[in-house]
Amino acid sequence: MFQNDLSRLFAEHIATRQREAEAVLAASGLDHLLIAAGVDKYRFHDDMPYPFRPNPQFLAWAPLDHHPRCWLAITPGRKPTLVYYQPDDFWHLVPADPSGYWVDAFDIRIVRNAADIAAELPPAAKAAILGEADAAIDGYVPNNPAAVVNPLHYARAVKTPYELVMMRRAQQRAVAGHRAAEAAFRAHESELGIQRAYLAASGHLDCDLPYGNIIGLNEHGAVLHYQHQDATAPSDSRSFLIDAGAQVVGYAADITRTYARSVGPFQDLIDGVDAVQQRLCAAVRAGTDYAQLHLDCHRQLAQVLVDQDVLNGSAEDAVASGVSATFFPHGLGHLIGLQVHDIGGFMAGPDGGRIEPPEGHPFLRLTRKLEPGMVVTIEPGLYFIDSLLAKLKEGAHADMVNWKRVDTLRPYGGIRIEDEVLCTDDEPENLSRAAFAAAG
Kindly tell me the burial class for residue 355, based on how many C-beta atoms sit within 10 Å of its own C-beta (0-12, 13-18, 19 or more).
middle
How far apart CA 153 and CA 353 sit, in angstroms, is: 12
Round the average pLDDT of the chain to a whole number and report it: 97
The answer to whether residues 280 and 380 touch, using CB atoms and an 8 Å cutoff, is: yes
pLDDT at 418 over 70: yes
CATH architecture of 3-155: 3-Layer(aba) Sandwich (3.40)
In three-state secondary structure terms, 418 is strand
Banded pLDDT at 2 (limits 50, 70, 90): low
Question: Measuring CA to CA, which residue among 115, 432, 55, 121 is closest to residue 281?
Answer: 432
Q: In angstroms, how far is the first alpha carbon of the chain from the final one?
A: 20
Q: Tens digit of pLDDT for each residue in 364-384? A: 999 999 999 999 999 999 999
Nearest to 415 by CA among 323, 301, 289: 301
What residues does each domain of the chain span?
A: 3-155, 161-439
pLDDT at site 234: 97
SS (H, E, C) 272-310: HHHHHHHHHHHCCCCCCEHHHHHHHHHHHHHHHHHHCCC
Q: Which CATH architecture has domain 161-439?
A: Alpha-Beta Complex (3.90)
Rounded Cα–Cα distance for residues 381 and 257 (Å): 10
pLDDT in tens, 294-304: 999 999 999 99
- Name which of 276, 255, 286, 275 is nearest 427 in CA terms: 286
Per-residue pLDDT of 125-150, as tens digits, reads 999 999 999 999 999 999 999 999 99
pLDDT surpassing 80 at residue 1 = no
Amino acid code (one letter) for 99: S
pTM assigned to the model? 0.96
Q: What local confidence, expressed as pLDDT, does residue 4 receive?
A: 78
